[in-house]
């Protein structure tokens, strides 16, 4: 074990000194020729066979798909050197190539699952008050101390976790954010942000720190975005995107998909607009009735969800942008990723929740170490049930298998982390989730059967 760790450390140090400074710059000069060469190098260095196969898949996609090729070339040419050498290196090499094997080694050694990343809210303070905000019922006065966050990031790296995602609240109002990211320069950071605070000075600082990517929230075009987030928000977001694109930042978009905007945000016109603005990735989240003024009528219908299950993969293979569908991509990640399996959530009060949308906790990070909270009975109850359904188009214990969440909370003794959080377990909202899960189940089972038949015919 010691010898393997030593070799891993030497390889990592070599790459840190040479790959980030030389090879990534080399790729940016002529990506059509040099990106495949980089993939060959990564394949040689990959420790696990599954990573070698993943590299082969990426290489084939780059070779055979024009949209993927355009996407990679755009990244290679447009990213500022600081971003390319810090964010890209940290995420691709530290978090993935080196981090995941380290996580698995530590999992075996410590007898607890080590996730790939952590979602953490530095603060619940926010300069907006968006309708239906998933975090809208947390106390607005909570914040984690910079000392605890600093220690959390150090604890994470010891376990092989080099990817941290911020949420809130509005993470960009947290005064210590950039100092912490600069200190932990070997980590990759992302933040879900409303984007309204990104002015020239902050855009410059994002480039300076290099290892940070904002994912900016939009609801669609101006009318729909401003209706939920306040007048003038859309224009501020677009200005922020322009500032980031001009400087060579790596930034994305975060979209809450509702019954009302599903066609708007997945239209060719809107996707092409995002690409033109410089967006390189997107996270889409189906609306969940939690937080501020939960409204079950905003949930997408089973028919709309089936549409998204086909439309989002189409966009990924036909447009130079990568967009994730947080629930419908369950097949890609083998079911629910929450509960410490691939990630978990720490809110600004320090309470350790299994998911951004499951507001129940047993432990508090202010009272325990990262390793101690990974041993949480709440996480254990989650992980022994994952995947929650054999049909990976039904991955979620909130909207797809709601009885599982009731059982988990009861078994672990978890408490709600704010008033109203338990409405997903009982009452009118819970009854609606039960009915919706049955409706989606009928549609999803047909979709799943069709996909499995297609794979069989194709010989997968």
pLDDT in the model for residue 42? 76
pLDDT in the model for residue 10? 56
| Max CA distance (Å), the chain | 60
Residue 427 to residue 60: CA distance in whole angstroms: 50
- Looking from the CA of 311 toward its CB, the CA atoms found within 13 Å total 16
User: Which are the contacts of 21, defined by CB distance < 8 A and separation ≥ 6?
Assistant: 85
Using DSSP's 3-state secondary structure scheme, residue 69 falls into helix
Residue 359, phi then psi, degrees to nearest 5: -95, 70
Contact 291, 137 (CB under 8 A): yes
Contact 170, 128 (CB under 8 A): yes
Q: Could you read off the pLDDT of 147-203 as tens digits, one per residue?
A: 999 999 999 999 999 999 999 999 999 999 999 999 999 999 999 999 999 999 999
Task: Between 105 and 6, name the one with better pLDDT.
Answer: 105
pLDDT in the model for residue 457? 87
pLDDT exceeds 50 at position 128? yes
pLDDT in the model for residue 1? 43
Residue 72 to residue 345: CA distance in whole angstroms: 30
Distance of CA 324 to the CA centre of its chain: 9
Using DSSP's 3-state secondary structure scheme, residue 168 falls into coil
Tokens 């009861």 sit on residue: 410
Q: Where are the domains of the chain?
A: 7-64, 82-459
DSSP for 281-316 reads EEEEEE--S-SSS--GGGSPPHHHHHHHHHHHHHHH
pLDDT exceeds 70 at position 237? yes
Q: Could you read off the pLDDT of 27-51 as tens digits, one per residue?
A: 888 899 888 988 887 787 776 787 7
pLDDT in the model for residue 3? 47
Domain 82-459 has CATH 3.20.20.70: yes
pLDDT exceeds 80 at position 9? no
Give the closest residue to 41 by CA, choosing from 22, 55, 60.
55
Range 209-236 average pLDDT:
98
Task: Between 22 and 168, name the one with better pLDDT.
Answer: 168
Range 269-284 average pLDDT:
98
For residue 318, count other CB atoms closer than 10 A to its CB.
Answer: 14
pLDDT in the model for residue 2? 47
**From 85-89, 133-137, 380-384, 440-444, the region with the lowest mean pLDDT:** 85-89
**For residue 315, what are its two tokens?**
């966009």
pLDDT in the model for residue 214? 98
Residue 217 to residue 346: CA distance in whole angstroms: 20
Residue 389 to residue 382: CA distance in whole angstroms: 13
Q: Could you read off the pLDDT of 397-432 as tens digits, one per residue?
A: 999 999 999 999 999 999 999 999 999 999 999 999
pLDDT exceeds 80 at position 241? yes
What is the percent of the chain with per-residue pLDDT over 90, rounded to a whole number? 83
Q: Could you read off the pLDDT of 304-353 as tens digits, one per residue?
A: 999 999 999 999 999 999 999 999 999 999 999 999 999 999 999 999 99
């Amino acid at each position: 074990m010691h010898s393997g760790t030593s070799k891993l450390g030497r390889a990592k140090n070599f790459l840190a000194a040479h790959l980030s400074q030389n090879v990534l710059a080399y790729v940016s000069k002529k990506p059509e020729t040099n990106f495949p060469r980089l993939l060959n190098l990564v394949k040689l260095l990959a420790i696990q066979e599954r990573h070698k196969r993943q590299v082969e898949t990426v290489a084939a996609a780059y070779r055979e798909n024009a949209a993927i090729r355009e996407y990679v070339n755009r990244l290679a040419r447009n990213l500022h050197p600081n971003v390319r050498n810090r964010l890209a290196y940290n995420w691709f090499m530290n978090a993935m190539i080196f981090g995941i094997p380290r996580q698995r080694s530590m999992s075996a050694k410590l007898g607890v699952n080590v996730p790939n990343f952590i979602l953490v809210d530095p603060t619940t303070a926010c300069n907006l008050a968006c309708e239906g905000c998933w975090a809208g019922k947390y106390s607005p006065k909570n914040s984690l101390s910079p000392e605890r966050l600093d220690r959390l990031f150090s604890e994470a790296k010891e376990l092989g976790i080099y990817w941290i995602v911020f949420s809130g609240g509005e993470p960009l109002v947290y005064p210590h954010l950039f100092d912490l990211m600069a200190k932990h320069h070997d980590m990759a950071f992302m933040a879900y942000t409303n984007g309204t605070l990104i002015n020239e000075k902050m855009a410059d600082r994002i480039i300076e720190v290099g290892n940070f990517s904002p994912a900016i929230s939009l609801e669609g075009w101006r009318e729909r975005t401003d209706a939920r987030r306040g007048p003038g928000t859309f224009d501020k977001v677009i200005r922020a995107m322009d500032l980031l694109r001009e400087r060579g930042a790596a930034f994305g978009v975060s979209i809450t998909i509702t019954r009302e905007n599903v066609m708007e945000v997945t239209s060719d016109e809107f996707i092409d607009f995002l690409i033109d603005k410089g967006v390189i990735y997107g996270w889409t989240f189906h609306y969940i009735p939690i937080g501020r003024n939960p409204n079950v009528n905003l949930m997408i219908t089973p028919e709309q969800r089936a549409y998204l299950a086909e439309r989002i993969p189409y966009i990924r293979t036909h447009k130079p942008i990568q967009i994730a569908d947080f629930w419908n991509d369950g097949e890609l990640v083998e079911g629910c990723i929450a509960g410490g399996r691939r990630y978990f959530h720490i809110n600004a009060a320090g309470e350790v929740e299994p998911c951004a949308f499951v507001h129940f906790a047993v432990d508090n990070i202010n009272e325990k170490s990262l390793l101690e909270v990974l041993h949480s009975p709440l996480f254990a109850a989650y992980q022994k049930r994952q995947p929650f359904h054999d049909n990976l188009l039904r991955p979620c214990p909130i909207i797809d298998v709601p009885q599982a969440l009731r059982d988990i909370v009861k078994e672990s003794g978890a408490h709600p982390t704010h008033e109203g959080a338990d409405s997903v377990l009982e009452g009118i909202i819970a009854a609606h989730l039960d009915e919706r899960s049955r409706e989606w189940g009928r549609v999803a089972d047909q979709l799943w059967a069709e996909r499995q038949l297609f794979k069989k015919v194709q010989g997968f």
